[in-house]
A and B are shown apart, each in its own frame.
Chain A
Amino acid sequence: MESRQSPGMQLYVVVWIGLLLIVGAEVALTLAHLRASTLLGLLLVLAVIEAGLGLMYFMHLRYERPSLFWSLIPALIIVLVLMDHFWPDALRLMHQRLPAP
């Protein structure tokens, strides 16, 4: 049971440089002193791109059978999106607490 052919070190080095550049972009965005919610959104987008590169190349998901990707990643995304829906509700409940007597 062998995975499909994986690329040589040259491609991994290119991915590594790409990841370093994204980290540089994140630091530059931080120093621009944006609003907290805007900064959070931009940093999350860059982090997701980094995670995608890591998953597909360093973790070889791109070179495995597509069935592995489709079994794992959509399920993870659904769980994370559901969390994103439930957390605001948790904050709403916190504000609905009765004041202490």
Chain B
Amino acid sequence: MGESAMTMGARRGALIEGSPYGIPSPKLAMWLFIIADAVTFGAILFAYGYLRVANPAWTRPFAFWPTIANGITMTVVLLTSSLTMVGAVTAAQSGRKSASLRWLGVTMLLGTMFAALHLREWTAMIGQGWRLFRNPMGGPVLFGATFFGITGLHLLHVITGVVVIGVITLGFRRERLDAGHVETTGLYWHFVDLVWMFVFPLVYLMNVR
């Protein structure tokens, strides 16, 4: 490298300050997105919580079997997918690429399983006459609106996550993306899991008969 090139490189380096957080920009961007999204979910869950507690005639349609049992299965599946995602990130960071790809595949499979269980439940409820603004049990119509609204927004996040993990997996496999991308995607996936930690007790367990 010539002297002028070295000088230019040093000057360029001096102009760029290090991150105060010690993390790459994409990871910081993901954290900021997560905080913004947490506020969105916070708003709809607060609104739901107040409606649920303020309304003594609120419909509680769920029996332990099959709905809550299905909800517990979905929760275990999603929590396990977070563990497999951690496995993928750890393997990617330590240079074990094939192990990381395997864990990413398992995470996608579990995410797809969660979505399938969710859609099966929705189909059963729609078959019973539940709609966004229709309550077949004769109570307040708000139950359908809040249930399908909150779980639908979460399901959209899960499906998006599965697609994004698929894209990242392909890029990582072809060496166009690196372990940092896997970690950033992992943050999103854990956030989706974290939101479910609030949705399951508030929307399912609070509505057991």
Please determine whether A55 and B194 come into contact, CB atoms closer than 8 angstroms.
yes
Instruction: From the candidates B52, B80, B82, B206, name the one contacting A54 in the complex (CB within 8 A).
Output: B82
**Dominant SS among interface residues on chain A:** helix
Chain B residue nearest to A46 (CB atoms) is B201
In the bound complex, residues from chain B placing their C-beta under 8 Å from that of A58 are 82-83, 85-86, 190, 193
Interface residues of B in 84-141 (CB under 8 A from A): 85-87, 90, 93
> A20, A23, A83: which has the most chain B beta carbons within 10 Å?
A23
Assign chain B's interface to a size class: 35 or more
Instruction: From the candidates A9, A84, A91, name the one contacting B90 in the complex (CB within 8 A).
Output: A9
Chain A residue nearest to B30 (CB atoms) is A59
Please determine whether B50 and A87 come into contact, CB atoms closer than 8 angstroms.
yes
When chains A and B are docked, how far (Å) is the Cα of A50 from the Cα of B193? 10
In the bound complex, residues from chain A placing their C-beta under 8 Å from that of B22 are 1-3, 64-65, 68
Could you mark each residue 185-209 of chain B with 1 if its beta carbon is under 8 Å from any beta carbon of chain A, else 0? 0010011011001101110011010
Please determine whether B193 and A54 come into contact, CB atoms closer than 8 angstroms.
yes
Q: How far is the CB of A99 from chain B (nearest CB, A)?
A: 19
Interface residues of A in 16-56 (CB under 8 A from B): 16, 19-20, 23, 26-27, 29-31, 36-37, 39-40, 43-44, 46-47, 50-51, 54-55
In the bound complex, residues from chain A placing their C-beta under 8 Å from that of B85 are 58
Between-chain CB contacts (< 8 Å), 15 pairs? A1-B23, A26-B201, A36-B206, A40-B49, A44-B202, A47-B201, A54-B194, A58-B85, A58-B193, A59-B191, A64-B21, A65-B23, A68-B21, A76-B35, A79-B39
| Contact segment of B6-14, B40-48, B155-163, B166-174 | B40-48
Residue B15 is within 8 A (CB to CB) of chain A in the complex: no
Apart from A40-B53, A58-B83, A65-B23: 18 A-B pairs, beta carbons within 8 A? A6-B90, A12-B87, A19-B79, A27-B68, A40-B206, A43-B202, A44-B201, A47-B202, A51-B194, A51-B197, A55-B194, A59-B190, A67-B20, A68-B31, A79-B42, A83-B42, A88-B50, A91-B50
